[in-house]
Amino acid sequence: MPAHFALTDAGCLRILARMGAGDLVTVHAGDDGMPEPDVTFLPWEYVPAPAGEPDGEVTDASESIGLGSLVGHLARNNLQVRRPVLGPATVVVHEGDHYVSPVDLPSHDDGGRVVPTWDYVTVHAHGELVLHDDPAWILATMRPLTDRHEHVWAEAVPGMPATPGTSGGAGTTWSVDDAPQEFVDRMLRAVVGVELRLGRVVGKAKMSQNKTPADVAGEIDALEARGRDDLAAFKREVSLPAAQRRHDLLADLRKRR
């Protein structure tokens, strides 16, 4: 992991706190007895470490600090909850990614010594996977997960604030309590709660921090032209200053020689 691409633990947790969905990766004993990986893509809710444990001020130097957990729900007939898990599990979260074309980089016109690449921000969350069969636990974790995404979805409509309601349409949000209780009870019996108790998080933001400032600026223009404003903002706020610091450092070293 190049140091200029590595995310701190605190940076990883910020991504987990605003994530939508990620891949749950587990390993099980196959029919032939050999280890067999399995993967399910599902939404997660980040739960900070309990009160009394440090949280929010996590650094790479932390060893026994509480990182919190990720909670989600799997269908009861999913093989990932029907077969014992071998060792720890991993959730892979992708914050964003995009193709980098040489034609967008000014260095392409300076000898052409540049190739395409792919930029991305990702977090691998590792830990113990715990299954929960208690309907009360499942319901209690479904509420915040649903509420958060309902509000995010409603607020995505320009000029339409999110308001509770069951009529549907822009601006209204749905709650678990809107459904008939007997229907909710039946749905709860069809799923199993899953909790990944975080033991280690590894994050990487490969976002052209090692390129020239001019090339990063070219990528920002290309992203904005394609409506990728979130990634353009990351490169403007993080990658461009990092590229400038690297450029200045190299220039200083050349002067010293």
* pLDDT tens-digit series, residues 35-72: 999 999 999 999 998 865 444 444 343 333 589 999 99
Three-state DSSP at 36 gives: strand
Report d(CA 33, CA 36) in Å as an integer.
9
Average pLDDT over all residues of the chain:
89
pTM confidence score:
0.85
Q: Read out DSSP for 160-205?
A: ---EE-SS-STTEE--GGGS-HHHHHHHHHTEEEEEEEEEEEEEEE
pLDDT above 50 (res 198): yes
Task: Assign 127 a pLDDT band (cuts: 50, 70, 90).
Answer: very high
Calculate mean pLDDT across residues 138-158: 90
Calculate mean pLDDT across residues 19-44: 95
Calculate mean pLDDT across residues 66-93: 95
Task: Assign 226 a pLDDT band (cuts: 50, 70, 90).
Answer: very high
Phi-psi region of 168 (alpha: psi -120 to 50; beta: other; left: phi over 0): left
Calculate mean pLDDT across residues 171-200: 93
Query: What confidence score (pLDDT) does residue 172 get?
Result: 82
HSE, side-chain direction, 13 A CA sphere, residue 69: 14
* pLDDT tens-digit series, residues 149-167: 999 888 877 765 555 654 4
What stretch of H or E contains 35?
strand 35-43
